[in-house]
Chains A and B, each alone.
Chain A
Amino acid sequence: GAVVSQHPSWVICKSGTSVKIECRSLDFQATTMFWYRQFPKQSLMLMATSNEGSKATYEQGVEKDKFLINHASLTLSTLTVTSAHPEDSSFYICSARGGTSGLYEQYFGPGTRLTVT
């Protein structure tokens, strides 16, 4: 199957700083990318969906000014957590799809564990 990578795999930062997480599709062009957040013992919650070259569509309750998403190319999307606080500590997972249609399979990255102290 297709490979999606994330970097870093874990990060610890101080409260008030910003953190950028990268998501790359390694062997296919990702027309659509998704960002999820998962708290301990909970399911993955979709934060936003982005199509290459367009602004991201955020799910209800997700602050777009706090979670900046850039899908600048067909192989790279970034999530920047701005002014991070301890409550932003979570497991962030990206996903990539080769097309905009739901007929395309979803490929997931290994996740990034963010700890804000």
Chain B
Amino acid sequence: SQQGEEDPQALSIQEGENATMNCSYKTSINNLQWYRQNSGRGLVHLILIRSNEREKHSGRLRVTLDTSKKSSSLLITASRAADTASYFCGTNTGNQFYFGTGTSLTVIP
């Protein structure tokens, strides 16, 4: 991809379980952002973590950032069927903003 990879590519879990997806990127960043996209729809901004931050929480979301490994993770706790969507990390590298390859999450009721 232009900037990063995400894994897993697809993830299927039962409602109530936790979902973890990972994002790796290639160059130095100013911040990293996670987005959700329902099929055929626009992006929903979830959380932004700056390069000098290591962890951030928002509701059931927990994001970590390891700049030494150029990686980030998104944890969704107590998943719900409504969390079914594709999740993308985006990296601000200065003037460019690139997306990772995305993780397709399916939460089975």
> For B95, what are the chain A residues with a Cβ–Cβ distance below 8 Å?
32, 49, 57, 100, 102
Cross-chain contact of B97 among A34, A42, A57, A109 (Cβ < 8 A):
A34
For B30, B92, B97, B99, the residue with the greatest tally of chain A CB atoms inside 10 Å of its CB is: B97
Structural contact, A106 and B99, CB atoms closer than 8 A? no
Q: In this complex, what residue of B is CB-closest to A110?
A: B42
Beta-carbon contacts under 8 Å, B45-94 to A: 45, 48, 88, 90, 92-94
> For A107, what are the chain B residues with a Cβ–Cβ distance below 8 Å?
45
Structural contact, A43 and B101, CB atoms closer than 8 A? yes
Decide yes or no: A95 and B48 within 8 Å by CB, A103-B30, A106-B33, A108-B43 being known contacts: no
**Is B11 part of the contact surface with A, judged by Cβ < 8 Å?**
no
Cross-chain contact of A105 among B29, B48, B99, B104 (Cβ < 8 A):
B48
Decide yes or no: A43 and B42 within 8 Å by CB, A102-B31, A103-B31 being known contacts: no
**Contact-size category for A:** 20 to 34
The complex places the Cα of A108 from the Cα of B35 at a distance, in Å, of 10
Structural contact, A45 and B45, CB atoms closer than 8 A? no
The complex places the Cα of A61 from the Cα of B1 at a distance, in Å, of 13
Structural contact, A93 and B31, CB atoms closer than 8 A? no
Decide yes or no: A44 and B88 within 8 Å by CB, A32-B95, A102-B93, A105-B48 being known contacts: yes
The complex places the Cα of A42 from the Cα of B30 at a distance, in Å, of 25
The complex places the Cα of A32 from the Cα of B97 at a distance, in Å, of 11
Q: In this complex, what residue of A is CB-closest to B33?
A: A106
Shortest B104–chain A CB gap in Å is: 8
Cross-chain contact of B42 among A45, A100, A105, A108 (Cβ < 8 A):
A108
Structural contact, B42 and A44, CB atoms closer than 8 A? no
Which residues on B are within 8 Å of A, measured CB to CB?
1-2, 29-31, 33, 35, 40-43, 45, 48, 88, 90, 92-102, 104
10 closest pairs, A vs B, by CB?
A: A102-B30, A102-B92, A110-B42, A44-B99, A102-B94, A108-B43, A43-B102, A111-B42, A43-B99, A43-B101
